[in-house]
Amino acid sequence: MPSTSVDHDLAVGRLRASYERIPAGHPVRLAKRSSNLFRPRAELDTPGLDVTGLTGVISVDPVARTADVQGMCTYEDLVAATLPHVLTPMVVPQLKTITLGGAVTGLGIESSSFRAGLPHESVLEMDVLTGAGEVVTARPVGEHADLFRMFPNSYGTLGYATRLRISLDRISPYIALRHVRLSLDSLAPAIAEIVASGSYRDEPVHFVDGVAFSPSEAYLTLGRNSDALAQTSDYTGQQIYYRSIQQRQTDFLTAHDYLWRWDTDWFWCSAAFGAQNPWVRRLWPRRWRRSDVFHKLVGFENRHQVAARISARRGQAPRERVVQDVEIPLSRLAAFLRWFDAAVGMRPVWLCPLRLRGSTAWPLYPLAPGETYVNVGFWGTVPILAGAADGDVNRRIEDAVARFGGHKSLYSDAYYDRDTFDRLYNVPALTEVKQRYDPDARLTGLYEKAVTRR
């Protein structure tokens, strides 16, 4: 919903008042009804922070190509405010209910990331409610530059963004797509060509992601801005986007439908709920074909274990959740994909090239400036074999990602021991800044959030 500066100031006042009501010594956390995190959170016996009224877009400046946005604003609402100006956030994560504040303090990657980097790189300044209960404005330089640089990947351990000023990018009304089939060994050279030239075989590329359906079938989807009016596809109805990648070489979408092409079926995960069955799909209301609806169904299952109990009665093996996004150096991509298919066997997997837009390295997100990575995303479950334990597959993946020189996001389950975690995620540097902005440790630590799930 739109918000005015006055409304925003009132909402920040309510947020600060709710902080003051939390007793000293009790942890501070947002009172959110939903989340795109996949790790469970411990229940608190005290109220959370009141974020009522912090869910809108304050203003869009089409000349400067900037927007002032509240921290709890979803990308769905943000895109709705920018598209009328033929503008979009530099990076639009794939799922509608991811919030801008969440993407900046956590993970956000999409098909523009090979040229636009990560969401936090488009932030010009942000207001943050710190663990000390103060609202400070952090910028790349100045008094709170340390907070600005440490905020990405801090997952709420330093504070919560209440307002962010971000740069916007131009986008055309339509996006023309090419689905290019490649071998695993051809993926890296093709991506390198696109990164270096902004084109592939002499055609411009403004967006790129891909899918590996098997070791012998992988695709890059190359998107190009287009002003031409043509017949567009619709993947919010009976047609399913990821299947179209195998079925057609070219496609044409409105900018809106391109940005949300993955949300309708939560990539391919809607199949777990029967939503890709043609008969079920006809009965499943279109307004419920959304990632947040599927996420709520997963949450219900996590709480009540209905499907797990049914499977157990049928004598089926229990299953381990494997929901991860990992960044692999481009030069190691084919080797990692072959290892993953042999060791884990989940298909398909999502591929999204990325590189930092600027020359700045971010302390808690250790990607090297100038190097190209590929985000490999895989989401589902695997059977827990006889003699194995829940978490074994995730641990093997963590070990493999380290061997391949990669990095793992923290929105889902993590199993690292503390020493390894502290080294991989630069926790000593975080602790130094945390002592300034959260001196009484009111906010949960990163290891506790990501691994021990406090």
353: closest CA among 384, 328, 370?
Answer: 328
For 5-171+433-450, which CATH class? Answer: alpha beta
pLDDT of residue 156 exceeding 90, the answer is yes
87-89 and 319-329: which strand pairing?
Answer: unpaired
pLDDT given for residue 407 in this prediction: 96
What is the pLDDT at residue 414? Answer: 96
Instruction: For helices 291-304 and 306-313, give the axis angle rounded to 10 degrees.
Output: 60
Decide if 5 contacts 58 (C-beta within 8 A): yes
Tell me the per-residue pLDDT of 168-190, one tens digit each, with 9 for 90 and over: 999 999 999 999 999 999 999 99
pLDDT at 46 over 90: no
* Percentage of the chain modeled with pLDDT above 90: 86
Q: How far apart are CA 408 and CA 270, in angstroms?
A: 24
Residues forming a β-bridge with 374: 328, 353
Q: What is the DSSP string of 398-414?
A: HHHHHHTT-EE-SSS--
Neighbour-count burial for 63-100, b at 16+ CB within 10 Å, e otherwise? eebbbbbbbbbbbbbbbebbbebebbbbbbbbbbbbbb
Q: What is the pLDDT of residue 26?
A: 85
Rounded CA-CA distance 189/202 in Å is 15
Phi/psi zone of residue 317: left (φ > 0), alpha (ψ -120 to 50 degrees), beta?
Answer: beta
Helix (H) or strand (E) holding 342: helix 333-343
- The tens digit of pLDDT for each residue in 197-239 reads 999 999 999 999 999 999 999 999 999 999 988 899 999 999 9
- Which residues touch 64 (CB under 8 Å, ≥6 apart)? none
pTM of the model: 0.94
Region 134-158 average pLDDT:
97
Compute the distance between CA of residue 123 and CA of residue 120 in angstroms, rounded to an integer.
Answer: 5
pLDDT band at 47 (very low <50, low <70, confident <90, very high): confident
Average pLDDT, the chain: 94
pLDDT above 80 for 277: yes
List the chain domain ranges.
5-171+433-450, 305-415
Nearest to residue 367, comparing CAs of 380, 379, 354? 354
Note the pLDDT of residue 10: 96
Band the pLDDT of 313: cuts 50, 70, 90.
confident
Look at residue 138 and tell me whether its pLDDT is greater than 60: yes
Q: CB of 110 within 8 A of CB of 351?
A: no
- Residue 2: predicted pLDDT: 62
Nearest to 131 by CA among 447, 442, 431, 433: 442
Find the mean pLDDT for residues 125-145: 97
Q: Which residue has 């979009």 as its token pair?
A: 88
Rounded to 10 deg, the angle between the 333-343 and 392-403 helix axes is 160
Q: What sign does the dihedral 5-9-127-295 (CA atoms) show?
A: negative
Please compute the mean of the pLDDT values over residues 59-82 and round it to a whole number.
98
**How confident is the model at residue 372, as a pLDDT?**
98
Q: Is 141 helix (H, G, I), strand (E, B) or coil?
A: coil
Of residues 101 and 42, the one with the higher pLDDT is 101
Residue 36: pLDDT over 80: no
* Range with the poorest average pLDDT among 89-93, 316-320, 387-391, 420-424: 316-320
List pLDDT tens digits, range 399-454: 999 999 999 999 999 999 999 999 999 999 999 999 999 999 999 999 999 999 76
pLDDT, average across residues 286-309: 87
- Give bridge partners of residue 251 from the DSSP assignment: 177
Class of domain 305-415: alpha beta
Residue 35's pLDDT band (cuts 50, 70, 90): low
Dihedral pair phi/psi, residue 227, rounded to 5°: -100, -5
CB 225 within 8 A of CB 241: no
pLDDT at 305: 86
Q: Residue 379 is encoded by which pair of tokens?
A: 């989401």
Ranges assigned E (strand) in 171-240: 174-182, 199-200, 203-204, 207-214, 217-226
Which tokens sit at 123?
A: 């932030």
